[in-house]
Amino acid sequence: MKDPTFNTIGQKFLRGHQITDAHGEAKFLTIYPGWYQGRTVHIHVKVRTTPQANRSFEFTSQMYFDDTLSDRVYADAPYVTKGKRTARNQDDRIFRRGGDQLMLAPTPTADGYAATFAIGLQLP
């Protein structure tokens, strides 16, 4: 579902959201993320609860990829046309503050890669 207040026409990034199923799971299909100056490869993620008793909670973080996988992906089109990326995981100031705990481990599939990541939140 598109956020009506945010215009992504002509932009080079992706946005979206999913509602979890009865098991608290959400799935999405995306492209391998590109890179930008000074940051390692990552995907932003935000978990929001539905308001209960007029109170809701929100968790925002980033998930990361192994540098070796990113090197392989960026060696192929269309990524290779951008040139060499400027930061690896250990060069990224945000990754160095616990990013190793937020690593995705994609496995090859017929269509690309697939990864799962469990996020558990302890709410009051």
Q: Model confidence over 63-121: pLDDT tens digits? A: 999 999 999 999 999 999 999 999 999 999 999 999 999 999 999 999 889 999 999 88
The answer to whether position 60 is within a domain reads yes
CA–chain centroid gap for 77, Å, is 21
Q: How confident is the model at residue 123 (pLDDT cuts 50, 70, 90)?
A: confident
Is 121 contained in some domain? Answer: no
> Phi and psi for 33 in degrees, rounded to 5?
-70, 145
Number of domains in the chain: 1
Distance CA 110, CA 84 (A): 27
- Answer yes or no: is 31 within a domain: no
84 located within any domain: yes
The answer on pLDDT for 18 being more than 90 is: no
Asked whether residue 15 is domain-assigned, the answer is no
Cis peptide upstream of residue 33 (ω within 30 degrees of 0): no
Pairing of strands 107-109, 58-64: unpaired
Q: Does this model's pTM top 0.75? A: yes
In a domain, 88, yes or no: yes
Q: Which domain holds residue 67?
A: 42-105
Nearest to 41 by CA among 72, 81, 17: 72
Res 2 pLDDT > 50 = no
